[in-house]
Amino acid sequence: MRNVEEFSRLSDELEQACRETDGVIGLVLLGSAADATRRDEWSDHDFFVLLEPGREHDVRRDLSWLPRFETSVLLGREGDIGFVVVYSDGHVLEFAAATADELTGAVADDALIVYDSEGRVARIIAEARERADSADRLAAPSDDRAANDMRLVLVKLLIGVGRARRGEVLNGSNFVRGWAVGLLARVVRARIPSQLPSSRDKIDPLRRFERGYPELAARIDAALAQDVESAARGLFDLARDVLEPGWDGFPSGAADAVAARLDWRDDDGADAQAPCSRTAQRFDIL
């Protein structure tokens, strides 16, 4: 929704719709919908709608109670309680419509309780935030976790390139552009101080990565713009250039084995091994 004021108007209409719909007892805005300072023209409406037990099937069966539903062009289901709606102007609603029991296990970071007719929503959101905080603490930067994630990056790159070489390009691409990139982002966050710590997302390491690591994000993006193997090699070289120097936990021997297995060599014909003789990009390592 290109107009930020229009975004707020739709939020107000959503609240009113929830208050007027039988079986809906609460509304929580999430992410940028909850925090106007993070909102821009690409922001979606992410939210939880809390339903009265016994009414969930009725409310989910007919979503015409949503604001401006007559202008929607797409309605999709994501599991039993998740929905996505796209309006004719391209604006997106992503939400869960569920009872309190069905939201057990939900996680939330930024959240704004808009409507809570029975006083249940505050407890649900407090528990969802605690789950997000607990997961964040478990994922807190540590050498052991970062080293394990880095080992997994190498595994995903090796498998992905192998799949692509045998002709399974799409599957190989998923290993490289999906698994390996997400894991690599976690390693970077664990080992390199962010230029903007407040940009870190507790749930997704790739969210707002560009704000905290603009140079590395540009390098990763450039690598991913290439074919599968070139993308994998770009991520591999970035890891050895940026993360390996000065880090005893880096799996250098495994990286050497991957380079040898894939016959990856430097421009001078040498195996792409530890950058002991190369000029490494310098970053302050935690």
Q: What is the dihedral of CA 78, 83, 87, 91, to 10 degrees?
A: -80
For 212-236, what is each residue's pLDDT tens digit? 899 999 999 999 999 999 999 999 9
Structural domain contains residue 270: no
Q: Same domain for 12 and 115?
A: yes
Q: Same domain for 209 and 98?
A: no
Cβ atoms of 71 and 87 closer than 8 Å? yes
Cα-only R_g, the chain: 23
Structural domain contains residue 269: no
Query: 73 — phi, psi (to 5°)?
Result: -120, -5
- 33-37, 70-74, 199-203, 240-244: segment of lowest average pLDDT: 199-203
For 154-163, what is each residue's pLDDT tens digit? 999 999 999 9
Number of domains observed in the structure of the chain: 2
Of the candidates 145, 144, 143, 124, which has an alpha carbon nearest to the alpha carbon of residue 135?
Answer: 145
Q: Same domain for 129 and 169?
A: no
Q: Same domain for 130 and 154?
A: no
Identify the domain boundary among 115, 137, 159.
137
Q: Same domain for 33 and 123?
A: yes
pLDDT of residue 279 exceeding 50, the answer is no
Q: Same domain for 54 and 92?
A: yes
Structural domain contains residue 283: no
pLDDT of residue 137: 52
pLDDT of residue 208: 80
Structural domain contains residue 200: yes
The type of residue at 275 is: P
Q: Same domain for 130 and 163?
A: no
> Distance between terminal CA atoms of the chain?
40
Q: Same domain for 56 and 148?
A: no
For 72-131, what is each residue's pLDDT tens digit? 999 999 988 999 999 999 999 999 998 888 887 676 677 788 888 877 777 777 776 676
Which three-class secondary structure state does DSSP give residue 201?
coil
Give the predicted TM-score (pTM) of the model: 0.70
For 37-68, what is each residue's pLDDT tens digit? 878 888 899 998 999 999 999 999 999 999 99
92-98 and 45-51 strand pairing: parallel
Q: Same domain for 39 and 56?
A: yes
**What CA–CA distance (Å, rounded) separates 2 from 91?**
9
Q: For residue 24, what is the domain's CATH number?
A: 3.30.460.10
Structural domain contains residue 274: no
**What CA–CA distance (Å, rounded) separates 276 from 273?**
8
Q: How confident is the model at residue 285 (pLDDT cuts 50, 70, 90)?
A: very low
pLDDT of residue 129: 67
Q: Same domain for 154 and 92?
A: no
**What CA–CA distance (Å, rounded) separates 128 from 91?**
26
Q: How confident is the model at residue 240 (pLDDT cuts 50, 70, 90)?
A: very high
Q: Same domain for 167 and 131?
A: no
Structural domain contains residue 252: yes
Q: Same domain for 15 and 108?
A: yes
Structural domain contains residue 276: no
Domain that holds residue 106: 4-137
Cβ atoms of 103 and 26 closer than 8 Å? no
